[in-house]
Amino acid sequence: MLKAFRLAFFIGLVAGALLPTGVRAATPAIDVLHVDGTIVPVVAGYIDRGIEQAETRGSSIVIIELNTPGGLMDTTQTIVERIMNAHVPVVVYVSPKGAWAASAGTFITLSAHIAAMTPGTTIGAAHPVAGGGEEIPEEQMKKITEFSAKWMKTIAEDRGRNIEEAQLAVTESKSFTDVDALNLNLINLRADNLESLIAQLNGMKVTLATGEEIILNTEGYMLDRTEMSFVERFLYAISDPNIAYILLSLGTLGIMGEIYSPGSFFPGIIGGISLLIAFYSLGVLDAYWGGVLLILLAFAFFVAEILTTTFGLFTAGGITSLVIGSLILFPGAGPVGQVDWWLIAISVICITAFFVFVINRVIRAHRHQPSSGREELVGKTAVVKIALKPKGVVFIEGERWTAESEKGRVEPEEEVIITKVDGLKLWVTKKE
């Protein structure tokens, strides 16, 4: 009797331990990813991470909320391949109202196991455009378009969608409202919100790349939103043409400021970091490097003006180079990869005004040089540019001089009094 009781107690413990696991396993887990903006490499990494995470922990469905004007074709191909070979059902949901899945977004939407749209959204206009700034010959563009159309056909055929209409989105840049897309069998359903979408998914059948057929169960689901990490958000933020342009301008301006005023360090540090981040952004966005070089050449002209004072010749060349370089930075990328014209105008005006101010100060300093010899410098105040420890560099009346402190170390930007002129070297003491 005692043995029977112990056996029953043990079976009860095991059943109690297994019951919650069974309940949890029966509870459908739905992972939600959110993409809002241009399709760039960091988005592909984010989607891959989200799908892999869902596959690893056995989630029932992955939903990608999508709102994009398009993006890079290489990145789009990576995302499409990941979705079509996923071991978990993937739903692409174009939302919220007013959103669109244009160009690259159309390929991504149609590649999903289930494609859905919010009322008031649009997909289409997937005709390829030239990237990187090069002029693509008509014959070559025709081949690219034909290849893209064939790729779209493959996607639509595999997902059982309207092949002819899907190809028209590529060959004729045709766009579709949510109603058009549903009626033409480009998407599977329309849903007012995420809750409505999940409710409609219940009972639908999908076939994975492995050939496994799955009937979706969303009753009593558990929702889990997978957000971008801090690093992903940062990289996504800087993968924008306007941000890249600002960083490039700020970086070059900082480097030039350090050259003009050596020893201040801060402009050089900020400029160097900004320039490196800008190069990352430009590389991601497939910028035309001819435009980048013209912008860098513009700053070289400005610095040459400061050092040689050609009274406007290098300045004019710098402004011209800056404007042309800015305009051709992303010439063939379409509206997705263009720098806003107003940002170019503001940047050119601000940068030009800064250098005109600096050049004017240099010219005025040259016009007010001492007229009775270097001995006139004795007793005057200079500003330290490179720390005197005890030797360094000071700045006085538009000129840089090698200087030596008579007593103690003097930090940059501190003022000193000139006590003696010895050839091309000044002897100074810290101003009290």
Active site residues: 103, 143
The pairing of strands 213-215 and 399-405 is: unpaired
The pairing of strands 399-405 and 391-396 is: antiparallel
CB under 8 A, 24+ apart: contacts of 423-429: 425/401, 426/377, 426/382, 426/394, 426/401, 426/402, 427/403, 428/382, 428/388, 428/394, 428/403, 428/404, 429/405
Give the DSSP H/E element, type plus range, for residue 213.
strand 213-215
Q: At what angle do helices 138-159 and 104-111 cross, to 10 degrees?
A: 20
CB proximity list for 196: less than 8 A, separation 6 or greater: none
CB proximity list for 272: less than 8 A, separation 6 or greater: 251, 254, 255
d(CA 415, CA 195): 68
Q: Could you tell me the two tokens for 268?
A: 């050089």
